[in-house]
Amino acid sequence: METAIETTERGFATGRHVVLRPVLETDLPELARLMAENPYNHEQVPWTYHRLKKRFEDKEKPGLWDREDKTYAVVRRRGGIAGYITENTSDNQMYWCTLHIGSGISDRDALGTDLAAAYLAYKERWHHPRRISFALLLLEDQKAGWLTAAGFEQELVFERSYFHSGRATSLAYYTWCADWALAMRAERHPVPGEEDPRRGA
């Protein structure tokens, strides 16, 4: 019989292994290291603790958290930051994200798979998303596996569009679309010059 896992961390989403919550000031040193380690970030800047702290203390958008741009700390259920998710949205139905779990973590695959599933379940339950896309480098096989296991599919690949370690590499988008959004796209709509099929004969 499986025993319940004790939870000490609290946040917006809880999986078997991780909790997703807003970033705390005490997370910043490790978060800066994780952001610098991530092979892909939307913002191509050298992340340091001081740069991240300055952004965290921004008077207009404090805490790495505002209406359009959010950073979630990915922490173990018993504490300790292991990674993060960045999220950008302009209409609360389409989300553009990145994710990362520390490269040297021994149970990285378990945590990554759990965070992808927990994030998707949280968004479906509370935000009614139309689509969620994660950007990552095509060479990041582990991340692709986490997202695929959660129901994301590779949607786009931009060949040789990003430099990593001094070499051109490809950027990939893994996307999940809501069933209701896919159904709307599949509906037959009239085209100018064609008879409207919804009017009948």
Q: Please, where are the H alpha helices in the chain?
A: 28-37, 49-56, 108-126, 141-150, 179-186
3-state secondary structure of 13: strand
Which token pair is 10? 């609290």
Superfamily of chain region 13-199? Gcn5-related N-acetyltransferase (GNAT) (3.40.630.30)
Measure the CA–CA gap between 177 and 29, rounded to whole angstroms. 35
Confidence tier at 155 by pLDDT (50, 70, 90)? very high
Confidence tier at 198 by pLDDT (50, 70, 90)? low
Residue 1 has pLDDT above 90, yes or no: no
Report whether 83 contacts 74 (CB < 8 A): yes
Reported as a single tens digit per residue, the pLDDT across 81-132 is 999 999 999 887 999 999 999 999 999 999 999 999 999 999 999 999 999 9
Mean pLDDT of the chain: 90
Whole-model pTM: value is: 0.87
Reported as a single tens digit per residue, the pLDDT across 48-60 is 999 999 999 999 9
Looking at per-residue confidence, does 185 or 160 come out higher?
Answer: 160
Q: What does the pLDDT average to over 155-184? A: 92
